[in-house]
Amino acid sequence: MKRLNIVIDTNVLLVSIPPKSRYHWIFQALCNDLFDLSITESIINEYEEIIGEKLNEAIAKNVIRTLLLLPNVKYVNVFFHWNLIEADPDDNKFVDCAISANANYIVTEDKHFNVLKSIDFPKVNVINIEYFRKLISK
Per-residue pLDDT band for 82 (boundaries 50, 70, 90) equals confident
Q: What average pLDDT does this structure show over 14-25?
A: 97
Q: What is the pLDDT of residues 90-120, one digit of tens each?
A: 899 999 999 999 999 999 999 998 888 888 8
CA distance 37 to 67: 9
Q: What average pLDDT does this structure show over 3-32?
A: 97
CA distance 74 to 4: 12
Q: What average pLDDT does this structure show over 21-34?
A: 97
Q: Please tell me the total count of domains within the chain.
A: 1
pLDDT of residue 37: 98
Do 40 and 67 form a contact (C-beta atoms < 8 A)?
A: no
pLDDT higher than threshold 60 for residue 21: yes
Residues spanned by the domain of 59:
5-137
CA distance 8 to 27: 11
Residues 6 or more apart from 121 whose CB is under 8 A from it? none
pLDDT of residue 85: 84
Do 7 and 113 form a contact (C-beta atoms < 8 A)?
A: no
Residue 98: φ, ψ to 5°:
-60, -40
Question: Residue 121's domain is classified under what CATH number?
Answer: 3.40.50.1010
pLDDT higher than threshold 90 for residue 89: no
